[in-house]
Amino acid sequence: MKTERKGRTAPWAKALGAVLLVPVVVVVALFAVARHREGDRERDAFDATVTDARRFADALAGRGAAPSPQDVRDVLAETAGHGRGDGVLHEVRPAADGTRVIVQFSRVYERSPALFGPSTTTADRCFTIDLPALPADESPDGTEARVTAHGPDESCLEVAAAAPDEGKLRVSGT
């Protein structure tokens, strides 16, 4: 007659549990690594928008004093095109000490393997660029624009609405 042991797990059950647990642990580890890499790609995309904004601001400052909205659009097309990143102009307005430009730059980055939805997404960031006023006889060579990067959760519409109203020249549909 066979005696039963109560309270102990059979060796075959332990082996089966270990075999089934290994793939679960591997999938969880791969998911964690993919999320970390996606975070790095997102940070790199946000850093690239700062570089795009700086390039745009330098090009605007090099043009001289008080750029018109069309000048701003032209510089934006030159600096944000050609695969460097997308730029959307929201406002150009005169400020007490020069001109203020509110612009959004975007960069595309790859998401982790997505089960639902697209495999790429964009990092969008709004920037306020303040160009100092230049006297007519001064060269724009030494002029430096001030670039303010707003948080990733702030839209350019919110930034424009929060800024003081000093004679806005709204630019929409660009």
143-154 pLDDT tens trace = 688 999 998 888
Residue 127 scores a pLDDT above 90: yes
Question: Which of 65, 59, 49 has its CA nearest to residue 126?
Answer: 49
pLDDT of the residue at 25: 87
Task: Classify 65 as helix, strand or coil.
Answer: coil
According to DSSP, residue 71 is labeled: H
- Averaged pLDDT for residues 34-61: 88
Q: Please tell me the distance from the alpha carbon of residue 172 to that of residue 49, in angstroms, as a whole number.
A: 21
- Averaged pLDDT for residues 29-58: 88
Alpha-carbon Rg for the chain, nearest whole angstrom, is 27
- Give the phi and the psi of residue 87 in degrees, each rounded to 5: -125, 140
pLDDT of the residue at 128: 93
Residue 69 scores a pLDDT above 90: no
Cα–chain center distance at 14: 49
Say how many residues make up the chain. 174
Strand partners, 87: 105
pLDDT band at 97 (very low <50, low <70, confident <90, very high): confident
Q: Please tell me the distance from the alpha carbon of residue 148 to that of residue 130, in angstroms, as a whole number.
A: 8
Q: Residue 38: which H helix or E strand, with range? A: helix 11-63
pTM for the model stands at 0.71
Least reliable range by pLDDT among 3-7, 130-134, 138-142, 157-161? 138-142
Question: Which of 106, 109, 93 has its CA nearest to residue 159?
Answer: 93
pLDDT band at 6 (very low <50, low <70, confident <90, very high): low
- Averaged pLDDT for residues 33-55: 88
Strand order in the sheet with 146-149: 146-149, 120-132, 98-110, 86-95, 169-170
Q: Please tell me the distance from the alpha carbon of residue 67 to that of residue 98, in angstroms, as a whole number.
A: 10
pLDDT of the residue at 170: 43
